[in-house]
Structure 1
């Protein structure tokens, strides 16, 4: 029986029962709060350590020796050795964040059948994939056994819940998977382990799948350095030797290099930024028909005149990324933007939520309250001693300049904002924007200190002793800084992204938006055609309840959550015919009708 998309998001009340104790909420993790100081410190340390040790001890080299792996996992034939007429495959990238978003995607991926309506109103019946590919960054904020279990394994196990057979899982390693040196990733995905949600088969962090009718899917591991190691190059060369001239390739990378090359400053590019060209020209010897990538948490599809596809589908559960950066709409080599999700205007409008930075990121507000308190507390205490009225602003400025502690912390604040500033517009832009951002914080800290001094000075005699007066001043500074500091940060991120096209990651990670999720469902049919179904979730459910039957419960959306929307197709299915792929030659001209995809 098919499961309609509307049923996945809104089950009728008669098919579900409510529990009174405990609350009708699964024991899942919330979205990662990226501006929580604890998360920032932990992620920063993990990044530093993984980058340092990753350069010195590349785990891929050890696995290539210790973990032999078949050149290709064969899905062109069934378990009895007969050629497959068709195959369904699901692609999910950037998952393992909050329960609501990750489980909403997982419940649709694990449904036996799913009816999906496209923008034209046509309904397409799809089947759950026999193969499931995780396209990179399988957990957030950093990799560990505990985080994988809570944020990735648990939602998918709960979503499958014996509704159908367990799919074979293959995982691409992303940068977040590398933050513990790929140790937890290897334990979970590369040791043949079974879980209630899937079966793993790969032994390394890269793999090749032989699919029906001459299709191949290759999963790479670029590590943190965006580099292909020598054993991996040799592995894919051997795989390419098994391909026929008419075979077609789907290449899965953790990151969309075709987009990063456009937004990355030219001075910072090197030969490692051309791994895709190297794979096509030197390793595979043919053009890739379909590129799939995550890392950017939205849907974006580019297509060229030959019909080749470059698709970003990083909507498996992590926070949303913007789609309104102008530089990624067109490519010099002819790839043109065909669709993005959410739409550009929606993305631009969502950026305005940064004006609510204080409410969305409460722990960062606490941190900024502490910074403002340290900047102005000593100055306010000095001005309040013996004062009979509000001091002039010049006196506040002089007191700040004479305070060694305030000067050191002020310099550290400006240095921190310069380091934080985006470098994609060049070094000078980073220095100027960072200095302006830091200068605004210092100016507001001075104004806040002036105001606190004006309030505390008249009350000095009433508060009777200086310690009580200083504590009162400190509380005022802390409360003012907790409100003003995050607002300045949110305003800075809003202007940076919507006006100067900078800080896309920082401006949206601050919002932790669980909606606008997506995954891809691929169908290889009996005619050898590949049909790509891009599935989107406008708004994921926030409330859940146990469904029936009672002996086999399943988390289903609470009907009271009326704002949740069912999964639908982002655009009509993309159909890629079974034709010969173009060889890689310097003088390849425009394809004729027989060679078009």
Structure 2
């Protein structure tokens, strides 16, 4: 059965399966905008992280079932609480006891599950968590004898209610199916086998590390770090990528590396001392794709090819994997190399020269596929075409065009020296028709002229039309086209007909042309925009619910950490109902009729444990 049939069994399932969020639907745009505004107020005046300082918190250990274990399997998934089919497909793969993947031996389920942020969409609430996250994950793993630990970081969508629902869901030590929660705050530190540590940071909508959070890590992490210890840092956003456009984006993570992991404050000497530990892996979601940046070593040389860096366990890695259920994001605009922190950053203490991380050749989706997928938003024959995927947007575009058509018709009447707009429509002749047609063409061509001229002055190459002015000009072109069509139709209507009929024709034509052509030009404008929020609409406007995945990790007895980036190219859309045992009463859970196929995105990546006897590798003289 499909999701629509499953929804009929909501009472038996104990949750209501949800459709993917349509991000460009007017309702979602408005609701999200309001929540973002309220979240900004919370961030400025009511930081929940300061209140959490009153809550008890300690160091966590994994695996729960065997704290003395010499190895551990860990799963990382982020951006998961969107449509049921995608979220539940990933959850079922995570819950599988032993996952069969071509190449390596079957991969055991993680004893630790890390949720990397944005556990619910579009905004956090108790009901949204139940329907979009807890329900699918509880159904995927109703119980587990090994008691896998679940820890969660809040992303920006978790923060949109001030973190209230997040703390109720993850910080009260209540189980979610077979997964056990133990954290009491929105951040955590987990002691792992082989002197590895897992750290989760709450950056609160891109803010600084608050004082209670800083004290927590200074108390429970820094004093325990020994020479040779290795740390995995999980954050809510890939600030290393964001630093390519905003120089200070990586400052908080770099501060944490320098002052919490690599050094600590000795209260006896009142000086900072080296810990001998090192961050070996940064993990995040937020961007709904898979991308890995590998550290460049001195052995690579200044002229090394970034696309062909050989595998080396000494390299530190930065991984983004936000494939847990939300819409797929693009990868073809990712920067190729990142000096961290950038030279232009304003942080007082930073590595000099900065280490450089290069984009690995394998992303998900691949860059070529990413470009092709992005174009689908402007292809009318695609099921991901903007108005087809977001019907409400087409309605909004039609309404906007009706208003603009009335305004432009009034301006046209004034230009013709008439005070009656309806009379202007009835009296329009061939010259007026030609003038309106030229106006429509002019509004459409003008952005290209501006883009060509701007590119010629600044970059000596044409630029794609972008910016809000371009969007307005495109919509004015549509309005002029609708008015042109109305005038042409008016020539065929008998003059004896009531003038209000001409007005009705104008509104109908404007609505139809606006919903189709207006949406299409808006989609083209989005597609031609290279960066910023509008560029992200290329993929979010399509709500692609295939192409999902997560990262499975293994810390072996030798102390090495191995990453297995896993992809589900297709999500399950055929479900059956199964009875699940419960301590109180039996209940019904949805399970995939055919489990989704899981494959490796790239070959496993090995990260060696930090060697304190070796100084950090020197950076090449000209690494970029």
Correspondence 1:128-147 to 2 at 5 A: 128-147=109-128
Which of 85, 106, 111 is matched with 1:100 structurally?
85
How much has 1:434 moved relative to structure 2? 2.4
Corresponding residue number in structure 2 for 1:421 = none
Change (3 A) 1:387 1:87: same
Corresponding position: 1:240 with 2:269: no
How much has 1:196 moved relative to structure 2? 2.4
How much has 1:573 moved relative to structure 2? 1.6
2:234 counterpart SS class = strand
Give me the whole-angstrom Cα distance separating, in 1, the residues matched to 2:179 and 2:477. 55
Correspondence 1:245-324 to 2 at 5 A: 245-264=227-246, 269-270=247-248, 273-285=250-262, 286-304=277-295, 305=297, 306-324=314-332
Corresponding position: 1:531 with 2:508: no
1:90 counterpart SS class = strand
Give me the whole-angstrom Cα distance separating, in 1, the residues matched to 2:195 and 2:85. 38
Corresponding residue number in structure 1 for 2:345 = none
How much has 1:438 moved relative to structure 2? 1.5
Corresponding residue number in structure 2 for 1:7 = none
* Contact in 1 for aligned 2:293/2:357 (Cα 8 Å): yes
Give me the whole-angstrom Cα distance separating, in 2, the residues matched to 1:21 and 1:157. 16
How much has 1:247 moved relative to structure 2? 0.9
| Structure 2: tracts of 5 or more residues without a match | 263-276, 298-313, 341-354, 379-384, 410-420, 448-457
Corresponding position: 1:489 with 2:522: yes
Change (3 A) 1:21 1:490: closer
1:572 counterpart SS class = coil
Give me the whole-angstrom Cα distance separating, in 1, the residues matched to 2:426 and 2:110. 76
Corresponding position: 1:382 with 2:422: yes
* Contact in 2 for aligned 1:84/1:212 (Cα 8 Å): yes
Corresponding residue number in structure 2 for 1:577 = 608
Give me the whole-angstrom Cα distance separating, in 2, the residues matched to 1:154 and 1:20. 16
Which of 56, 65, 83 is matched with 2:45 structurally?
56
How much has 1:347 moved relative to structure 2? 0.2
Correspondence 1:99-248 to 2 at 5 A: 99-117=84-102, 122-162=103-143, 166-238=147-219, 239-248=221-230
Which of 495, 507, 515 is matched with 2:538 structurally?
507
Give me the whole-angstrom Cα distance separating, in 1, the residues matched to 2:64 and 2:82. 35
Corresponding residue number in structure 1 for 2:377 = 354
Give me the whole-angstrom Cα distance separating, in 1, the residues matched to 2:479 and 2:574. 41
Which of 329, 333, 343 is matched with 1:325 structurally?
333
Change (3 A) 1:166 1:372: farther
Corresponding residue number in structure 2 for 1:439 = 473
* Contact in 2 for aligned 1:250/1:291 (Cα 8 Å): yes
The normalised TM-score by structure 1 is: 0.81
* Contact in 2 for aligned 1:112/1:163 (Cα 8 Å): no
Give me the whole-angstrom Cα distance separating, in 2, the residues matched to 1:24 and 1:371. 39
Change (3 A) 1:590 1:78: farther
* Contact in 2 for aligned 1:24/1:544 (Cα 8 Å): no
* Contact in 2 for aligned 1:143/1:185 (Cα 8 Å): yes
2:73 counterpart SS class = strand
* Contact in 1 for aligned 2:423/2:499 (Cα 8 Å): no
How much has 1:245 moved relative to structure 2? 1.1
Q: Deviations over 1:368-414 (max 9, x none)?
A: 100111001355453555427556147759999xxxxxxxxx9xxx9
Give me the whole-angstrom Cα distance separating, in 1, the residues matched to 2:186 and 2:4. 42
How much has 1:138 moved relative to structure 2? 0.8
* Contact in 1 for aligned 2:439/2:477 (Cα 8 Å): no
Q: Deviations over 1:301-348 (max 9, x none)?
A: 111134111111111001111010152455473312222111100001
How much has 1:458 moved relative to structure 2? 3.1
How much has 1:231 moved relative to structure 2? 1.6
Give me the whole-angstrom Cα distance separating, in 2, the residues matched to 1:21 and 1:169. 27
Change (3 A) 1:75 1:165: closer
Give me the whole-angstrom Cα distance separating, in 2, the residues matched to 1:501 and 1:488. 19
Deviates more, 1:310-319 or 1:349-358: 349-358
* Contact in 1 for aligned 2:229/2:278 (Cα 8 Å): no
How much has 1:494 moved relative to structure 2? 1.8
Give me the whole-angstrom Cα distance separating, in 2, the residues matched to 1:223 and 1:549. 37
Corresponding residue number in structure 1 for 2:307 = none
How much has 1:232 moved relative to structure 2? 1.2
Corresponding residue number in structure 2 for 1:335 = 357
Change (3 A) 1:545 1:19: farther
* Contact in 2 for aligned 1:259/1:328 (Cα 8 Å): no
How much has 1:490 moved relative to structure 2? 1.1
Corresponding residue number in structure 1 for 2:349 = none
How much has 1:530 moved relative to structure 2? 1.6
Corresponding residue number in structure 2 for 1:555 = 590
* Contact in 2 for aligned 1:390/1:453 (Cα 8 Å): no
How much has 1:466 moved relative to structure 2? 3.1
Corresponding residue number in structure 1 for 2:28 = 39
Corresponding residue number in structure 1 for 2:274 = none
1:507 counterpart SS class = helix
How much has 1:542 moved relative to structure 2? 2.5
2:283 counterpart SS class = strand
Deviates more, 1:545-554 or 1:222-231: 545-554
Corresponding residue number in structure 2 for 1:479 = 512
Change (3 A) 1:45 1:583: farther
Change (3 A) 1:302 1:396: closer
* Contact in 1 for aligned 2:433/2:487 (Cα 8 Å): no
Give the number of aligned pairs: 531
How much has 1:52 moved relative to structure 2? 1.6
Change (3 A) 1:452 1:345: same
Change (3 A) 1:565 1:344: farther
Q: Deviations over 1:238-259 (max 9, x none)?
A: 2111111111100000111110
Give me the whole-angstrom Cα distance separating, in 1, the residues matched to 2:288 and 2:566. 14
Give me the whole-angstrom Cα distance separating, in 2, the residues matched to 1:31 and 1:354. 16
| Structure 1: tracts of 5 or more residues without a match | 1-15, 401-409, 415-424, 592-597
* Contact in 2 for aligned 1:166/1:196 (Cα 8 Å): no
How much has 1:589 moved relative to structure 2? 2.9
Q: Deviations over 1:113-133 (max 9, x none)?
A: 11111xxxx242111112111
The normalised TM-score by structure 2 is: 0.78
- Superposition RMSD on alpha carbons, in Å? 3.4
